[in-house]
Amino acid sequence: MKRVVERERNKAYYRVAHWPIWVWVFWILPGHLTRDLFERGPDQRHWIWLGIVAAVTAWRAAAGRLPGCEPAPYVTHWGVAQPNLWYRVVCYTAAWADLLLPFMLNFLGLAVAAATGAWRVHELYTWLYYPLLGAVVLATALDFTPRARRTTLHEGNERAWFYIAIWTVAPTQVAAWAAWRLVAPLGLAPVDLARIRLAVFCAVAAAFFALGVRNLLPRTAGYPVPAEKLTAEGAEQARGLTIVD
């Protein structure tokens, strides 16, 4: 067991600062809206959806039912088996979908463009986004999604992988966009531009992933539960509120 939170209560600014994060998570969750947002910019649908998301998340944040918006920290020790809360399961499932799905579809779009010169991300979102979202939800239902599992026993390691994903995805998406903005004015053929963007995408993703798994980026250090603790007794403890020590 490792204590990771010393405070008894979350400060008001800490709780408020987490609310916009969850507004963003749920605003970009509908794939067809996100596809159109990045293609053409926001329209009336996006503003309506933003208003709905902002209102619902503000309500849940005020009730202390969003991660980081709770009156007191829920996970204070790593290596403690306690039931995960339903709102954490919902929020982290949505967050993983936001991280993985656009990343995967953009990679596939760049790969197709690098091979053919045709930009097919619109079609990829249309065909694959919601089946992939269903796969993420299924992974949660089967107790595979980090930070959305039924117990917080492995929160130390799962939190690390969550932040490795953030560190990998966010800079990679920005770098691929920057490559397009910087290289497109040179007038290259579409296939050559796509190959440059794909190379940048892969290089940045590999670099940040490598830094993350080596614990060289903030919040990427994990706390694995020792294998000898994961016995039949430990599995029973994971269904209760027992400390794994």
The per-residue pLDDT for range 56-73, each reduced to its tens digit, is 999 999 999 999 999 999
Residue 203, pLDDT above cutoff 90: yes
Reported as a single tens digit per residue, the pLDDT across 137-155 is: 999 999 999 999 999 999 9
C-beta of residue 223 within 8 angstroms of C-beta of residue 156: yes
Q: In whole angstroms, what is the distance from residue 77 CA to residue 79 CA?
A: 6
Name the token pair of 228: 């000898």
Q: Which pLDDT score, from 0 to 100, does residue 41 have?
A: 94
pLDDT at residue 4 in the model: 87
- In this predicted structure, what is the pLDDT of residue 183? 93
- pLDDT-based confidence at 242, cuts 50/70/90? very low
Asked whether the predicted pLDDT for residue 119 surpasses 60, the reply is yes
Classify residue 161 as exposed, middle or buried by CB count within 10 Å of its CB (0-12, 13-18, 19+): middle
In this predicted structure, the answer to whether residue 244 has a pLDDT above a threshold of 50 is no
How far is Cα 64 from Cα 163, in angstroms, rounded to an integer? 23
The predicted structure's pLDDT at residue 228: 60
Residue 240: what pLDDT? Answer: 45
Can you read off the two tokens belonging to residue 31?
A: 């794939």
Residue 243 reports pLDDT greater than 50: no
pTM of the model: 0.91
> Could you give the CA distance from residue 38 to residue 198 in angstroms, rounded to a whole number?
18
Residue with tokens 């209102």: 55
Q: Report the percentage of the chain scoring pLDDT > 70.
A: 92
Give the pLDDT confidence of 206-229 residue by residue, as tens digits.
999 999 999 999 999 999 887 666
Can you list the alpha helix ranges (DSSP code H) found in the chain? 12-27, 31-40, 44-62, 86-116, 121-141, 155-183, 190-213, 232-237
Is the dihedral angle over the CA atoms 89, 95, 99, 100 positive or is it negative?
positive
